[in-house]
Amino acid sequence: MSKNVKKIVLLYNQYIFYKGELMGGFEAEGEGGYWESDQVAKLMAQNDSKSKNMHGIKPIIEEDNNNYSIKAHAKVNIFLKITGHKDGYHTLLSRFMRVESLYDTITFVPYKCDTFTLEGCDGVPLESNTIYKAYKALSDHPADLDILEFFNTHKVLVTKRIPSQAGLGGGSSDAAAFMLLLKEVCNLPLSTQELAKMGSSIGADIPFFIYNYPSANVSGFGEKVKPFDEEALDIELYTPNIGCNTALVYKTFKENLLKDVSVCSFFGWDDIDSKTLLASNSDPIALNDLYNAALLAYPALAEVAKEGWYFSGSGSTFFRIKS
């Protein structure tokens, strides 16, 4: 990385720390006139420009006997750092990595339906299902075209493999895969960026899955996704029989740990490859701010944790690189 780029990164990170307007939600600790407004505006414009130029990686869609299928991969958080709390939500900086070996499958199956029909998500009310929420968002969009008609002749079948409440993003990945599959099958005139923006209103992790990158730095409320140039690692997962409610973990963090956030402690992490980050940080608590919160909310996690394993998202899955 050039000296100029490093300078921009440092200035941008310092701006976040002192002003708290992009990622933080912190109150300004210095005088408001410390940063030159035009300098900050340029940095923000550069960030926005990079986001707009991302098109994502086109997903692989399989067709067999008029069945259309797509894989909805799990993800792990190589690191996850809370950067603040704003408008009732936590903001973060995290490295998301796709897990190649674990995925749900979303399939459109020919079937005469009177209403939108979703199978394979037992125990989740239809109105609460992220796939149904994605369907509603797309069908209410001006570009809906033949969506309603399509689901009069097709049902959605989900083959679940990703465990729930495990920090692997299963529900968000399913919704994103559904949106990507429907966009291709029905030729929806929506860009990847438009699809990601629509998905962000359903779930914070959905934009990452929409862009379909093997690895990416995710920030803000989850809506800022920047691809990181590395191959997905060969990840081994361990999910104990404990479900961690994401809302409870974040609430626990806010009530007990938010005051201890130190944004300067992870400057530059978004420039370091994932394998190096894991090799140089053996403490899972240091890598994932939500781990301590999960331990407070679910003390049994401490009893099943394994040395040398890292913690993904809000839990309860542990992971490591396969040797």
Sequential pLDDT tens for the chain (323 residues) = 444 434 333 333 433 333 333 332 222 222 222 222 333 233 334 444 344 445 678 889 999 988 999 999 999 999 999 988 776 778 889 999 999 999 999 999 999 999 999 999 988 899 999 999 999 999 887 655 578 889 999 999 999 999 999 999 999 999 999 999 999 999 888 999 999 999 999 999 999 999 999 999 999 988 899 999 999 999 999 999 999 999 999 999 999 998 887 777 788 899 999 999 999 999 999 999 999 999 999 999 999 999 999 999 998 999 999 97
137 shares a domain with 66: yes
On whether both 71 and 197 belong to a single domain, the answer is yes
Residues identified as active-site: 75, 205
Q: Which residues contact 223 (CB under 8 A, 6 or more apart)?
A: 196, 197, 200, 204, 207
Q: Are both 75 and 19 inside the same structural domain? A: no
Backbone angles phi, psi at 247, to 5 degrees: -60, -40
pLDDT of residue 213: 96
pLDDT score recorded for residue 3: 43
Q: How many domains would you assign to the chain?
A: 3
pTM value surpassing 0.75: yes
Q: Are residues 290 and 144 in the same domain?
A: no
Which residues, 6 or more positions from 149, have their beta carbon under 8 angstroms from its beta carbon? none
* Same-domain pairing of 96 and 221: yes
122 with 260, same domain: the answer is no
Q: Give the pLDDT score at 36.
A: 29
Residue 159, pLDDT score: 97
User: Which domain range does residue 71 map to?
Assistant: 61-227
Contact 182, 124 (CB under 8 A): no
pLDDT at 31 (0 to 100): 21
Domain closes at, from 173, 196, 227: 227
